[in-house]
Structure 1
Amino acid sequence: MRFYNFANDSAIWRRLALCVCVASMPLASPAEPMHAIAMYGEPALGPGFPHLPYANPEAPKGGTIRLAETGSFDSLNPWVLMGNPVWPLFTQPGLVTETLMMRSLDEPFTLYGLLAESVETDPDRTWVEFTLRPEARFSDGSPVTIEDVMWSYEVMGTKGHPRYTAVWAKVAKMEQTGPRKLRFTFNTADRELALLMGMRPILKKAQWQGRDFSQSGLMAPIGSGPYVIDKVDPGRAISFRRNPDYWGRDLALTRGLGNFDTIRYDYFGDASTMFEAFKAGEIDMWRELVAARWDRDFDFPAVREGRVVKSEIPNGRPSGIMGLVMNTRNPLFADWRARQALIEAFNHRFINMTLSGGKDPRISSYFSNSELAMGPGPASGREAELLAPHAGALPPGTIEGYALPEGGERAIDRKGIRAALELLREAGWTVQNGELRNAEGQPFGFDILLNQSGSAMRSSAETRQIVDIFVESLRNLGIQPKVTLLDSAQYVERTNNYQFDMTWYERGLSLSPGNEQMLYWGHEGVTKTGTKNWMGMASPAAEAMIAEMGQARTHEDYLAAVRALDRILTAGRYVIPVSYSRISRLAHRSDLDYPEMTPLYGDWPGFMPETWWQEERK
């Protein structure tokens, strides 16, 4: 088994230290063309770098990798809200389509020129200008033009998914400033915008003439990336073929990436069926999310015979949040005491022991496992200063310090149940004839909505087991929730429109949180469909912290703002969090390999299959 000990991985810690140190470095000269741009300080790689540090420039080209997802798909347009898009197009923007700049997975937030050969901005980052590479081509051989870029930005900003439209509202002007130059001028003081403008997929304008971009569909988009869509079996499978004429194959930025001739994704109804397909050799890679199962369930013939090997990939990124989210649009969950009561009733210690043997730590805050996480105890210094003006509107624990209940070893945690009952009593709920009701006699009843295909991080069987234990515990409070299972298409429709009381929730968070946080937690998401604000929170304090993050000029001020936001989110008690893993556990075909040096973000979009390759079979 290929294994990395993150605690002793000095290379990763050196990179983390570098990220902190560069924050104190001066910014580049104003309006000077640069090969890259960082949120703070200078890019780690200077002009003329040979390749990304986590890519193998000697990786052989060829072969096939067969991957899998749960659920289904009915659209090849992942840039709009409608439809259930094919997963790889959504999570791997450099596969078929490309952006002006490309993110390095070895730095918190640094972009290097991809379609753009250079980037310019002023010291306050009130504008940003990109110069397009003259050699950039779409897969059909036609040049990528400024017209294509401007159309892509405008159509996504006006008709695209909310993740694009929200940022577009901060652009005062987009203009062509030269044969291959494009400038964006901003109407908002936000230093992150200069980077975000380099991260929008570029499409071929001519392909979309006469078509409604806002609609989903199965038209294969023409992009400039290293792969083209080869075959599509709607809802069941999709394959991507490496383009031998890919325009960017000789760039230092892409050297060692995109090595497979064919990348195929098969879709399965649930994770259990998908795992059986992996054991049978029908797919080539499996991400195991449960530590106990990693130790217990990988003794099948392919492993014993060496045809499948196990690799553990460390990372230095935040845990993100994962668990059961409470929709505060429902009056039942509008009171923080009711939400805390359900957190008290959720016996995580017992659930974690049952599912994973207690090996994985619990998510203690949204940015656990990183320097961005709030600390224990009360806020201090700049963090406390930022929170002070909002103190009267924040729930208890935000400034003073908040910690999740520990839970008990037995299925029913009596201490937690007693705490929950007291909180519910304070909120106006008491047990009457065995059922929790308010003064008007209305029951505390709600629905737990689940995707029968599971999620990116948990199988349907695992989430159902967690919910079943939780439901059993809730009966001790006089609460009997209903559990509803939906297919993936129905589930996406319901959650996009916030038509649920409680559901499973997963949000991966990066080392450079910024504007996307408004899409996650901003007040517009209370009514605007398609955002990530499933909990329906409307917190002026949270939005103030997000604004501070965008305006921060030093790493220290940025950290204070993110940690303050972490306190607001965690003490807001919107999600009942479960455990997370500090490593990714990947079982894969033995002739598939990846570089010894893994990036700071670890197993993250852009790492697998991009940096992997197939060794010659022996």
Structure 2
Amino acid sequence: MKLLRNLLVGVSLCSFHLQAEAQHGIAMHGDMKYGKEFKHFDVVNPTAPQGGEYRMGLVGTFDSVNPFITKGKAAAGVRELTIDGLLKRSPDEPFSLYGLIAESVDVALDRSWVIYTLNPKAKWHDGKPITVNDVKFSLEIQRDRGNPSRKLFFVKVDTVEILNDKQIKFTFKKIDGQYDAEMPLIIGLMAILPEHYFKTVDFEKTGLTPILGSGPYKISEIDPGRKIVYQKVDNYWAKDLPVNKGIYNFDQVRFEYFGNTTVAFEAFKSGEIDLWEETDPSAWIKEYDFHAIQDGRVSKVEIPHRHQVGMNAFAFNIRNPLFVDEKVRRALAYVFDFEWLNKNIYYGTLTRTLSFFDNTELASKGLPQGEELALLEKYKEKLPNAVFTEEYKLPTTDGSGNIREHLRQAKRLLAEAGWVTKDGKLLNEKTGKPFEFEILLNSPANEKVALAFSRNLGLLGVKANVRTVDSAQYENRRVNKDYDMIISFWGHTLSPGSEQKYYWSSLAADAPGTRNYPGIKSPAIDALCDDVTAARSRKDLITAIRALDRSLLAHHLIIPIGHRSKDYIAYWNKLEHPTFGPDGIPNFTMWWMKTKENEGSQTK
């Protein structure tokens, strides 16, 4: 394995075993794109004008500005804008990190430990320096009192040693005989919190009191549940670092919260918010003819893409006895008529999603072969036989709405699972109880999909009640896994890793706040998540992810919906942006405000 390349110039600590030379960043696999003398990321405008206010609209509410605990719903932007980490992620690589609070880093070749050397210029907003004690404190407070999902990662830290006033060493535990290769990067991304601040503030009861940060912005205004405003820090210590050039160009960033999508979109049309990414293709076709588009004040852009699309799907909660039997889950999938929905609601703009990693090289296809098959064979006795014998496919229709054949297939599977139809109702043949459940939603935008599905379920004698609740109630029920079925989205990067345990492990099945929404507990899935984190090359990662993907799909935990092959974005022309390309819409922190001097300079 090649020496890992890390943060700026550093001194090699020869007393440590299996170490790499201190450098300016870490790549999860292979080499980093940017050398130690890089000036800025390629995808930004390093000379972007500074100033102005960016206003974003969100649907929902918030009652907290502490994103590190489960209590409350945290406001958008707190972690990203006000609190720095040791390292910062590159926007145009699968998973590479570069120096921020840490100016250099040493990593053991076997990933058993990592040493961070802090930048002597790093400081908190109150002017005090960021210390190695702050870094140690950050790990301990988030591991012991933070969101349970963080514990899945931070418990892998065996020891934390303060080597001197600028260097701190994390040594990791072996899990099943090996080190998690991602842990040096996970720690690098960890939010660094001020120890001195929390000596007088209860970490778990911060509520709407802003946490002392070190990032490019401070919270300047809070209207609970409705608005949060961030003001750029004039003397931000890291503004001239290569990782920040061309980023954080606005003087103010404002997040406005709205009760529903309709109200938020009206706010965009009237100019109260600056940018709108449309997720509903039918709305894109029907609702973008307002005056500001007609007279050129708002740009409407379609961007064909090749980036990851994630998985948007109905998720069964298999903690509910109704959904324990896989045959039941497969039966209900037969009456979800994607083709009709796509034709009549989405104007044929969606593509059916067939993988948790669709539209990327990570997606499983066909039957397993080669190294993927060899990996899956290790867990053959604990996986569904379909993993090895059946290509994952979904029932399809001609889009006419005629699903008679699908109803027959569904009723056959339900009968095999012990369900019978009497007087138009589906009943359990042993208990006589009807098949009834709730589809819980947090957005009216999903109602048309859920209601169409519910109508078809009614043809089976199943009563599916569609219920839309406010964001606070939905979040509480989601965190505590208190639902029968939800529409959920699982996103991912191009370098999946330890977060897959947070999504799919047995440990995550019962932990509050995790994303194992279906509640699957499978030793084979657990092992495959370990294989993902153990991958030492890009090739091994792709093999492990495809095997995990295939195994999850074979359990029929979800009913996939679909994804867009284009990104849809509209924005007021006072904004300018980096080049739009097929890899995704640039993050708003890379945009800037148009001025008379640079008017017309943006690249579209």
**Aligned letter for 2:493?**
S
Aligned 8 A contact 1:399 1:567 in 2: no
- Which residue in 2 is equivalent to 1:141? 127
CA distance in 1, matches of 2:317, 2:71: 22
User: In the alignment, which of 332, 350, 370 is matched to residue 360 of structure 1?
Assistant: 350
- Which residue in 2 is equivalent to 1:457? none
Using the TM superposition, give the Cα deviation of residue 214 of structure 1 relative to its aligned residue in structure 2, in angstroms. Answer: 2.6
Aligned 8 A contact 1:26 1:41 in 2: no
Using the TM superposition, give the Cα deviation of residue 35 of structure 1 relative to its aligned residue in structure 2, in angstroms. Answer: 0.2
User: In the alignment, which of 382, 387, 396 is matched to residue 371 of structure 2?
Assistant: 382
User: In the alignment, which of 189, 201, 208 is matched to residue 199 of structure 1?
Assistant: 189
CA distance in 2, matches of 1:316, 1:156: 36
- Specify whether residues 599 and 177 from structure 1 end up closer, same or farther in structure 2 by C-alpha distance, changes over 3 A only: farther
- Specify whether residues 493 and 111 from structure 1 end up closer, same or farther in structure 2 by C-alpha distance, changes over 3 A only: same
- Asked if residue 122 in structure 1 is aligned to residue 112 in structure 2, the reply is no
Q: Deviations along 1:491-542, whole A, 9 cap, x unmatched?
A: 1111111111011111111111111111111112222211111100011111
- Specify whether residues 239 and 599 from structure 1 end up closer, same or farther in structure 2 by C-alpha distance, changes over 3 A only: farther
- Which residue in 1 is equivalent to 2:333? 343
Equivalent residues in 2 for 1:153-168 (5 A)?
153-168=139-154
- Which residue in 2 is equivalent to 1:132? 118
**Aligned letter for 2:593?**
Q
Aligned 8 A contact 2:303 2:580 in 1: no
Equivalent residues in 2 for 1:314-329 (5 A)?
315-329=305-319
Using the TM superposition, give the Cα deviation of residue 238 of structure 1 relative to its aligned residue in structure 2, in angstroms. Answer: 0.6
- Which residue in 2 is equivalent to 1:104? 90
- Which residue in 2 is equivalent to 1:498? 481
- Which residue in 1 is equivalent to 2:246? 256
3-state DSSP of counterpart to 2:545? helix
Aligned 8 A contact 1:64 1:261 in 2: yes
- Specify whether residues 70 and 252 from structure 1 end up closer, same or farther in structure 2 by C-alpha distance, changes over 3 A only: same
Aligned 8 A contact 1:66 1:283 in 2: yes
3-state DSSP of counterpart to 1:266? strand
Aligned 8 A contact 1:105 1:599 in 2: no
User: In the alignment, which of 506, 509, 529 is matched to residue 512 of structure 2?
Assistant: 529
- Asked if residue 170 in structure 1 is aligned to residue 156 in structure 2, the reply is yes
User: In the alignment, which of 467, 490, 497 is matched to residue 507 of structure 1?
Assistant: 490
CA distance in 2, matches of 1:88, 1:98: 12
3-state DSSP of counterpart to 2:189? coil
Q: Deviations along 1:554-592, whole A, 9 cap, x unmatched?
A: 222221110000001112211111111233211001121
Q: Deviations along 1:106-163, whole A, 9 cap, x unmatched?
A: 1111001111101111110100111110001112222111111111111011111123
**Aligned letter for 2:110?**
D
Alpha-carbon RMSD across the aligned residues, in angstroms, is 1.7
User: In the alignment, which of 464, 467, 476 is matched to residue 447 of structure 2?
Assistant: 464
User: In the alignment, which of 458, 477, 483 is matched to residue 475 of structure 1?
Assistant: 458
Runs of 4+ off more than 4 Å: 24-29, 313-316, 597-600
- Asked if residue 591 in structure 1 is aligned to residue 585 in structure 2, the reply is no
User: In the alignment, which of 544, 568, 586 is matched to residue 527 of structure 2?
Assistant: 544
3-state DSSP of counterpart to 1:55? coil
- Which residue in 1 is equivalent to 2:591? 612
- Which residue in 2 is equivalent to 1:448? 439
Aligned 8 A contact 1:336 1:395 in 2: no
Aligned 8 A contact 1:317 1:510 in 2: no
**Aligned letter for 2:59?**
T
CA distance in 2, matches of 1:412, 1:129: 62
Gap runs ≥5 in structure 2: 6-17, 600-604
3-state DSSP of counterpart to 2:563? coil
**Aligned letter for 1:292?**
S
CA distance in 2, matches of 1:597, 1:25: 34
Equivalent residues in 2 for 1:279-358 (5 A)?
279-313=269-303, 315-358=305-348
CA distance in 2, matches of 1:148, 1:577: 43
Q: Tell me which moved more, 54-63 or 134-143.
A: 134-143
TM-score scaled by structure 2? 0.93
CA distance in 2, matches of 1:25, 1:367: 28
User: In the alignment, which of 60, 74, 80 is matched to residue 49 of structure 2?
Assistant: 60
Using the TM superposition, give the Cα deviation of residue 408 of structure 1 relative to its aligned residue in structure 2, in angstroms. Answer: 3.3
Using the TM superposition, give the Cα deviation of residue 299 of structure 1 relative to its aligned residue in structure 2, in angstroms. Answer: 1.0
- Specify whether residues 239 and 135 from structure 1 end up closer, same or farther in structure 2 by C-alpha distance, changes over 3 A only: same
Aligned 8 A contact 1:80 1:216 in 2: no
3-state DSSP of counterpart to 1:286? strand
Report 1 or 2 for greater relative contact order, CA contacts < 8 Å, sequence distance ≥ 6: 1
**Aligned letter for 2:437?**
F
User: In the alignment, which of 543, 547, 550 is matched to residue 560 of structure 1?
Assistant: 543
TM-score scaled by structure 1? 0.91
Aligned 8 A contact 1:108 1:510 in 2: yes
Using the TM superposition, give the Cα deviation of residue 399 of structure 1 relative to its aligned residue in structure 2, in angstroms. Answer: 2.2
CA distance in 2, matches of 1:282, 1:342: 43
CA distance in 2, matches of 1:599, 1:247: 34
Q: Deviations along 1:76-117, whole A, 9 cap, x unmatched?
A: 00111110111222xxx3311011011112111100111110
CA distance in 2, matches of 1:314, 1:56: 22
**Aligned letter for 1:187?**
K
Q: Deviations along 1:7-38, whole A, 9 cap, x unmatched?
A: xxxxxxxxxxxxxxxxx966559331010110
User: In the alignment, which of 509, 512, 517 is matched to residue 500 of structure 2?
Assistant: 517
CA distance in 1, matches of 2:305, 2:171: 36
Aligned 8 A contact 1:412 1:473 in 2: no
Gap runs ≥5 in structure 1: 1-23, 455-459
CA distance in 1, matches of 2:96, 2:128: 29
Aligned length: 579
Using the TM superposition, give the Cα deviation of residue 236 of structure 1 relative to its aligned residue in structure 2, in angstroms. Answer: 0.4
CA distance in 2, matches of 1:94, 1:359: 33
CA distance in 2, matches of 1:75, 1:319: 29
CA distance in 1, matches of 2:371, 2:589: 40
Aligned 8 A contact 1:54 1:599 in 2: no
Using the TM superposition, give the Cα deviation of residue 396 of structure 1 relative to its aligned residue in structure 2, in angstroms. Answer: 4.6
- Which residue in 2 is equivalent to 1:44? 33
Aligned 8 A contact 1:129 1:183 in 2: yes
- Which residue in 2 is equivalent to 1:113? 99
CA distance in 2, matches of 1:563, 1:251: 37
3-state DSSP of counterpart to 1:94? helix
Using the TM superposition, give the Cα deviation of residue 397 of structure 1 relative to its aligned residue in structure 2, in angstroms. Answer: 2.7
Q: Deviations along 1:27-71, whole A, 9 cap, x unmatched?
A: 559331010110111100001111001110010000111111111
3-state DSSP of counterpart to 2:440? strand
3-state DSSP of counterpart to 1:214? helix
- Which residue in 2 is equivalent to 1:213? 203
- Which residue in 2 is equivalent to 1:18? none
3-state DSSP of counterpart to 2:221? strand
Aligned 8 A contact 1:128 1:183 in 2: yes
- Specify whether residues 234 and 162 from structure 1 end up closer, same or farther in structure 2 by C-alpha distance, changes over 3 A only: same
- Which residue in 1 is equivalent to 2:417? 427
- Specify whether residues 610 and 482 from structure 1 end up closer, same or farther in structure 2 by C-alpha distance, changes over 3 A only: same
CA distance in 2, matches of 1:85, 1:594: 28
- Which residue in 2 is equivalent to 1:185? 171
- Which residue in 1 is equivalent to 2:8? none
**Aligned letter for 2:167?**
K
The percentage of counterpart residues that share the same residue type is 38
Using the TM superposition, give the Cα deviation of residue 442 of structure 1 relative to its aligned residue in structure 2, in angstroms. Answer: 1.7
- Specify whether residues 314 and 216 from structure 1 end up closer, same or farther in structure 2 by C-alpha distance, changes over 3 A only: farther
- Which residue in 1 is equivalent to 2:15? none
- Which residue in 1 is equivalent to 2:12? none
